[in-house]
Amino acid sequence: MSDAGEVRVALASLVKMINLMGAEMLVGKYREDIDVFESSVRGKLFANVDGVSPESTAAGVALAHSLVDPVLKRLRERVNTLHATETAAAMAEHNEIPHRLN
């Protein structure tokens, strides 16, 4: 069972993720690169909350990661599907262009 400190750390970590994702959506340069985005999320998913023990901090960060992991997995699947669809559409468009031999 989680203690209050773990929950505070997990929530603080997730709030930082909201900030990171908002910045990425608005001005980010890695919009197209799920690998860089995921690495950035995992690297930033940590919060230090005053008055919380190191053990509770570690447990809170682990809790935050456990909540974010399935979200990142689904996001990766969506991005891969989107890229496959865009590639197929681009190839179809290219094949529709009439080619004339002059």
pLDDT in tens, 34-82: 888 888 888 888 888 899 999 999 998 898 888 888 888 888 888 888 8
Check pLDDT > 80 for residue 8: yes
In this predicted structure, what is the pLDDT of residue 55? 92
Spatial CA neighbour of 44 closest among 19, 63, 27: 19
Residue 40 forms part of a structural domain: yes
pTM of the model: 0.65
Residue 33 forms part of a structural domain: yes
Residue 75 forms part of a structural domain: yes
Residue 39 forms part of a structural domain: yes
Residue 78 forms part of a structural domain: yes
In this predicted structure, what is the pLDDT of residue 49? 87
Residue 101 forms part of a structural domain: no
Instruction: Give the whole-angstrom CA distance, residue 44 versus residue 50.
Output: 18
In this predicted structure, what is the pLDDT of residue 26? 64
Residue 36 forms part of a structural domain: yes
The whole domain housing 53 covers 4-96
Total domains, the chain: 1
